[in-house]
Amino acid sequence: MSKHKIVIAGCGGMAGTWASYALQRKDAEVAALVDIHKEAAEKFAVTYQLEVPIFRDVGEAVRSTQANLVFDTTIPSVHKSITMAAFEAGCDVMGEKPMSESLEDAIKMTEAAELSGRFYAVMQNRRYLKQIRALRHLIDQGVIGKVGMVSADFYIGAHFDGFRTAMKSPLILDMAIHTFDQARFIMQAEPVSVYCHEFNPAGSWYEGNAAAICIFEMFDGTVFSYRGSWCAEGVQTSWESEWRVNGTDGTAIWDGKDNPYCEVIQQSGQPVFQHAVARVDSEVPEMENEGHYGCLDAMFLALNQGKRAETDCRSNLNSMKMVFGAIESAAKGQKVWLT
């Protein structure tokens, strides 16, 4: 069996999870590390016991080691240059979210993947969890009828240092990308418009806007509403957000931690003011791996089968359109159509 030879670009906090995953795959090996800060890569090599060459430039790393795959775990502003350089050097890419810091860049990266015929899949670990799959299953089974409206609440007080502190829209760009992507997954619908109010609440320790409220219309007429804050102290939600899905026959709830459940109306055959409801618990599927490992399992399966991953860049572009549409809407103070 020929092994995937992987270059890990960006040896910071997140890269550790990716390296640990690569090290436990029989069909993969880490061939090189890349970081603009040599010391970061050296420290990383010691931590993960990687006796591999270290480079500053991803193209050079690929050419020197004949690698076929780049893990891009650099910061968002750098994803475009790393991905383009990897394609030019003849490599496939699995990269961290968000794809880029602008929609234009994400479109160029997707076009480059298309033109070069390269594989480019984006980490959306929050859709690879047993509970979110159980919620999807409840909806797919028609347990709550036809979905009309979905809402997600995200309230976390996260005190970061590093690149997020300098972002203009840290919540929407670096975190809500997850929740927006989860909404597309749960609703199995693509967005057509957004109205967003983005702001920085009193007491926020962020420079950019750490809170937002958004309303998305999806192509099938369903509506997704989002309320989020990254500077919310106390009574915090899950990082997966708290979800409510309203359908014609009932409502499904997922608090982002426990198993989802729903309440479904009991048809009495008589006109009633309010229906009696019965609780239906979800069937939680088995998954060998969840989160990052689950998403990487799916990426490698697709790559090995010559198929597009569920989180292929072409699909992920729709989550990016939600992000940049929301930012544009907030800046203009009006509803924006997502073309």
Ligand X SMILES: NC(=O)c1ccc[n+]([C@@H]2O[C@H](COP(=O)([O-])OP(=O)(O)OC[C@H]3O[C@@H](n4cnc5c(N)ncnc54)[C@H](O)[C@@H]3O)[C@@H](O)[C@H]2O)c1
Q: Which residue of 4, 67, 68, 76 would you call a contact of ligand X, by CB under 6 A?
A: 76
Q: Which phi and psi angles does 189 have, rounded to 5°?
A: -145, 150
Please tell me whether residue 85 binds ligand X under the rule CB under 6 A. no
Minimal distance, residue 228 CB to ligand X, in Å = 15
Q: Which residue of 9, 22, 313, 320 would you call a contact of ligand X, by CB under 6 A?
A: 9
Which C-beta is closer to ligand X: that of 105 or that of 174?
174
Q: Which residues between 145 and 164 bind ligand X (CB under 6 A)?
A: 162-163
Which C-beta is closer to ligand X: that of 81 or that of 193?
81
Minimal distance, residue 76 CB to ligand X, in Å = 5
Which C-beta is closer to ligand X: that of 158 or that of 223?
158
Q: What does the buried/exposed string (b/e) look like for 272-304 if buried means 16 or more CB atoms within 10 Å of the residue's CB? A: eeeeeeeebebeeeeeeebebbbbbbbbbebbe
H/E element holding 30? Answer: strand 28-34
Which C-beta is closer to ligand X: that of 163 or that of 261?
163
Handedness of CA 126, 238, 218, 192 (dihedral sign): negative
Question: HSE-up of 118 (CA within 13 Å, CB side)?
Answer: 24
Which C-beta is closer to ligand X: that of 34 or that of 231?
34
Q: Which residues between 34 and 53 bind ligand X (CB under 6 A)?
A: 34-37, 40
Tokens describing residue 302: 């697709």
Return the beta strands (E) in 162-259 as ranges: 191-199, 211-218, 223-229, 242-247, 250-254
Minimal distance, residue 28 CB to ligand X, in Å = 19
Task: Report strand pairing: 191-199 vs 147-155.
Answer: unpaired
Query: For residues 16 and 32, what is the distance between their CA atoms, to the nearest angstrom?
Result: 14
Which C-beta is closer to ligand X: that of 101 or that of 217?
101
Tokens describing residue 278: 């019965």
Query: For residues 260 and 255, what is the distance between their CA atoms, to the nearest angstrom?
Result: 7
The residue number with the shortest CB distance to ligand X is: 12
How far from 73 is each of 18, 119, 257, 281, CA to CA, in Å? Answer: 8, 16, 26, 37
Q: Binding residues for ligand X, how many (CB under 6 A)?
A: 24
Minimal distance, residue 33 CB to ligand X, in Å = 9
Which C-beta is closer to ligand X: that of 76 or that of 247?
76
Task: Classify residue 318 by burial, with Cβ atoms within 10 Å: 0-12, 13-18, 19+.
Answer: middle
Of 32-40, 133-141, 213-221, 259-267: span binding ligand X (CB under 6 A): 32-40
Q: Which residue of 53, 60, 63, 78 would you call a contact of ligand X, by CB under 6 A?
A: 78
Q: Which residue of 42, 53, 63, 75 would you call a contact of ligand X, by CB under 6 A?
A: 75
Residues in contact with ligand X by CB under 6 A are 9-15, 34-37, 40, 73-76, 78, 96-97, 123, 125, 162-163, 174
